Amino acid sequence: MIEAARACFGSFGFDKTSNADIVEKAGVTTGPLYHHFGSKAGLYGAVANDSIAVLVGRLEDVVGARADEDVVSRLGAMLQAVAEIYIEDEDLARFDAIGPLELKRTPELVDHIDRSQRARLSALFDALIEDARDAQHVDPTSSDAALNDLITVLYFGLIYYCAVVDADARPFDVVEVIVKGLRGQLFA
């Protein structure tokens, strides 16, 4: 049911997705939806929590496996993994691309999101920033909050891009250009 709900929420949004849409796509009745999730909002939270857990776990693995590389290389590898994940699963890309808007539009959905999963993503970004500071690879006048926001913009921007672009190779080209830009190699 998680996959069916992800596809419906990603295609139609929370408000325009009905329980009937979800159970029809999942091939079940409404009983399991209410039994396991309590409500459509509870199911939305389960979908979001599943998405975050899968994504963050993969990103932690990618960044951790490159601990001996410089921060830009690790950030590039993380963005490369983001592109791979979202090209592999278009429903996940659409769901995660509109997720932040859904949470603003329907604030009660936040109550169904496991904050510890979102904290893992923020901690991953913070660790990259700390490593960059330790290696003196970042302007000391830039705040950690601004640097975290930059990584967040790159991350969510790439998710959105993967959700709307049809060409599978283009997101990888974008990651390559981002890495060149971060290394100061993009513009003469």
Q: Identify whether 141 is part of a domain.
A: yes
**pLDDT score of 186:** 87
* CA pair distance 77, 71, nearest whole angstrom: 10
CATH number of the domain enclosing 54: 1.10.357
Q: Identify whether 12 is part of a domain.
A: no
Write down the pTM of the prediction.
0.88
* CA pair distance 71, 49, nearest whole angstrom: 27
Q: Identify whether 82 is part of a domain.
A: yes
**pLDDT score of 15:** 95
**pLDDT score of 165:** 85
Q: Identify whether 75 is part of a domain.
A: yes
Structural domain including 65 reads: 47-182
Q: Identify whether 15 is part of a domain.
A: no
CB contact at 8 A, 74 and 134: no
Sequence-separated (6 or more) residues with CB below 8 Å from residue 98: 9, 10, 13, 163
Q: How many domains does the chain have?
A: 1
Q: Identify whether 39 is part of a domain.
A: no
CB contact at 8 A, 116 and 48: no
* CA pair distance 79, 74, nearest whole angstrom: 9
Q: What is the DSSP letter of 39?
A: S
Q: Identify whether 28 is part of a domain.
A: no
Q: How many residues does the chain have?
A: 188
| Residue whose pair of structure tokens reads 């979202």 in the numeric block | 86
**How confident is the prediction along the chain (188 residues), in pLDDT tens digits per residue?**
999 999 999 999 999 999 999 999 999 999 999 999 999 999 999 999 999 998 999 999 999 999 899 999 999 999 999 999 998 898 999 999 999 999 999 999 999 998 888 889 999 999 999 999 998 888 999 999 999 999 999 999 999 998 888 767 789 999 999 999 999 998 87
Q: Identify whether 35 is part of a domain.
A: no
DSSP assignment string, 121-155: HHHHHHHHHHHHHHTT-S-TTS-HHHHHHHHHHHH
